[in-house]
Chains A and B, each alone.
Chain A
Amino acid sequence: MKYTLNSYWKVFWKFRSIHAMRTFEYRKNFFFWAVVATMWTLFNIFFYKILYQHTTTVGGWGEYQLYTLVGLYTMFDAIIWSVLSHSMKYYTRDIYSGEFSNLLTKPINTVFLIFTRYNNYNNLPRFVIGVGLTIWSLLQLGAAPTPLSLMLALLAIGLGLIWISAVWLCISTLAFYVEKLDNINEVFPALRRIYSYPASIYTNTLHLVLTTVIPLGLITTLPAETLHGHLSLTSFAWLLVSTLIAVVSAALFFRFSIKRYAGVAN
């Protein structure tokens, strides 16, 4: 009885459909937050628009080049709010309440369940705006990415997401050690600022750190540059290495930490 990828696939989609049903159940809540998220995104784009009325480049990036980055940032943010922050919130809550036991007894990888069992769809419009903005900026620039650079850009996005998830998992796993750690899941969102700008605005040591060991600077810059046709293999290598390190550390830390899980007495 070996588990196939097939059953993980089914579980993944079953969770998606469960949350789709819950969204329909509470559709007013959904519309409210979808509107809020959309307004927030438009406001953010508007802010960059104003910025470019006073300058022609930011860290060497022209207006439409930057919009590619902002589009990518918006996509990342949609995923962070609709998937990651949600999953991590319930993860830490369940450790504290003892509900985590439910996950531990299931014959499926616990980390897989932690990341896939929750999501909402409030940020779906936001994701679409992000995709739209990215494509629109590329059209404005007259940049037509080759299939290879498109694939590499997707790879960079994937690596960025994995890196963020692994680091966030490490942070939230601290909940096994501290009885109650409110707001622990606000640590990562605070770091998003860093990649809402191109990495080139950072200088010297900070630039070095943010594009190597802690590759926050690469999260949006790397896929954006790749789409613009500037391929940086060194950056790719660094993102790959840091992601591997993050994943291995997260896995080890998680495995070590669940031994401390005591649940609650009842």
Chain B
Amino acid sequence: MKTAAIVVDHLSKHFKVYKKEPGVWGSIKSLWHREYETVKAVQDISFSIDEGEVIGFIGQNGAGKTTTLKMLSGLLYPTSGEVSVLGYTPWERKPDFQKQFSLVMGQKNQLWWDLPAIETFELNKAIYDIPDNQYKKTLGTLVELLDVADIIKVQVRKLSLGQRMKCELIAALLHNPKLLFLDEPTIGLDVIMQKTLRDFIREYNREFGATIILTSHYMDDVKELCKRAIIIEKGTKIFDGELQSIIAKYAKNKILSLVFSKPVQRSDLEPYGEIKELTQDGTNYTATLLVGRKSATASASKVLSKLPVQDLTIEEPPIEAIIRDVFADTKRS
């Protein structure tokens, strides 16, 4: 039976920030009068995550993803709500709890800048009280998976962003955490390096059965690694479920791609759906239509019977586009 690694119950976090009017005069005025405003970074979120699951946290900038991860790792005290992570209350910061998780933030680093990464690894060995043989074994595995045998002996300030990120990951994983919070681990990396890290994260999950929460603005990260996703918008959870069912829930349209044997007019197509693209350059006659989900097959057969169709495909829209639509909708409402 699966047990829950994380249970989050009506969690909220509000920040008090003050607003400064622009300019020096605004600064002077703020000396005696400050207008405070409450930012509801996280607002009444609940979910639970099983051991061994890999979850994607999706949301726009400022949605509250990092704030949630910070509460789960015990850095922030919540404004209200209950959290249980591996059976512990995170912000009590018990060493036995802290030895079982790791928080990796793409923009933050824990490596000693002017020394080779291996020195930070040895420091963490002492801090996490890792036995010699376990340390050697884990380090060996991680170094091999990430192919960094030489890199870890070079001063960190001389490494590229991608090389450094690999070392950051090793530093965070040496104690074999059961639980991993990855906050935009692939930010700023090139496509190949992103892929390397993704493969590595998948491998780590498989090898150690680790529970992983991942946030990323690259949908590829989430699509490749996570079966389940949680979408957060303005501090509240708006979706929680299988990534695939986002399509079922939110996609209003399907995409109809058409290739014609002869030129067709825009007006010929208009009755069937929203025209996304139409190419009539003398040799290629193609069009892309957005058609209602339910009426997709009906529209397709009408187009087939009325127009000189050579080829036709019906596709689901990409998840990126659906999520973009979801966010656009919530903004409007």
Contacts and interface: CB of A to CB of B under 8 A. Distances in A.
Contact of A18 (B95, B101, B108, B119): B119
Contacts of B93: 104
Nearest to B119: A18
Interface string B88-131: 00000101111101110001101010110001001100111100
B95 A3 contact: yes
Given A14-B123, A21-B115, A107-B95, A3 B129 contact: yes
B211 interface: no
Contact of B110 (A10, A25, A102): A102
Contact of B103 (A11, A18, A26, A105): A105
A14 B130 CA distance: 14
Contacts of B15: 262
B129 A265 contact: no
Contact of A105 (B98, B112, B114): B98
A99 B108 contact: yes
Interface in A208-266: 259, 261-263, 265-266
Nearest to B39: A265
Interface in A90-117: 98-99, 101-102, 104-108
B123 A98 contact: no
A1 interface: yes
B195 to A, nearest CB: 25
B127 A101 contact: no
B182 to A, nearest CB: 14
Contacts of A106: 98, 127
A112 B58 CA distance: 37
Interface range on chain A: under 10, 10 to 19, 20 to 34, or 35 or more? 20 to 34
Contacts of A7: 126-127, 129
A101 B114 contact: no
A109 B295 CA distance: 63
B298 interface: no
Residue among B97, B123, B126 with the most chain A CB within 10 A? B126
A101 B95 contact: no
Nearest to B13: A262
A14 B122 contact: yes
Contacts of A259: 77
A15 interface: yes
A22 B70 CA distance: 31
Nearest to A3: B95
Interface of B: 15, 62, 66, 70, 73-77, 93, 95-99, 101-103, 107-108, 110, 112, 114-115, 119, 122-123, 126-129
